[in-house]
Amino acid sequence: MVRKDPTYTEEQIAEKLRAIPGWYYEDKWIRRQYKTDGWPTTLMLVNAIGYIAEAANHHPDLSVTWAKVGVKLQTHSAGGITDKDLELARKIEDTMLWRPEAGRTTGLEGTPNKFVRGGDPR
């Protein structure tokens, strides 16, 4: 017998998403919109999300346009939102919005471009 991952209620999901700014729950998915500075950055973002998802063996639905990437997560086999979705959302968020710390002497300056930024959540 295959064991299903436990799912969360809408109230539990809302509470857990407070720790992952920009993500929201809608139509049985947790979601996030990212804005980019154009097509090359959009493709890099999609590839980075794809790499993380494949490493995690948990795959989001993506919507891709010239300067936006939408991410939707749900554990289909469990019929709802599980720890897998929340953990992958956190990893995506931390990776996509990472920038070198200002004022640190690490040698990393960060891009001067707009690059990837959190978009309007809806």
The CA distance from 109 to 96, in Å, is: 16
Q: What is the pLDDT along the chain (122 residues), one digit of tens a residue?
A: 666 899 999 999 999 999 999 999 999 999 999 999 999 999 999 999 999 999 999 999 999 999 999 999 999 999 999 999 999 999 999 999 888 887 666 678 888 887 788 876 66
The token pair at 8 is 């969360």
Domains along the sequence of the chain with CATH: 10-96+112-118 (3.30.1360.20)
Residue type, 50: G
- pTM score, two decimals? 0.89
Tracing tokens 């998802």 back to the chain, one arrives at 53
